[in-house]
Amino acid sequence: MAVVPSRDSKQRRCLDRGEVRTGDVATSLGAIKTAIGSVNEFITSTAAAVEEQSIVTSDMSTNMQRASAELA
């Protein structure tokens, strides 16, 4: 005679699988959050570098114009 799993047993297995999936989702969301933080840091540092480069370029232009005016 075959043993038929009880309804409680089936429900427990479903709940166990759901808990595993919930844990997987939580782990994945944590990894996504970490990745977004890393990208945010990269964008922030890139924006700062672009701003510094813009200032340097502006200073160079001013100095070149001043040097050109002195030579004229």
Task: Check residue 25 and give its pLDDT.
Answer: 85
Distances (CA, A) of 13 to 8, 16, 23: 9, 5, 15
**Both structure tokens of 42:** 């990269």
37-65, pLDDT tens digit by residue?
A: 999 999 999 999 999 999 999 999 999 99
pTM over 0.75: no
Task: Check residue 72 and give its pLDDT.
Answer: 76
Handedness of CA 42, 47, 52, 56 (dihedral sign): positive
Task: Check residue 53 and give its pLDDT.
Answer: 98
Task: Check residue 67 and give its pLDDT.
Answer: 94
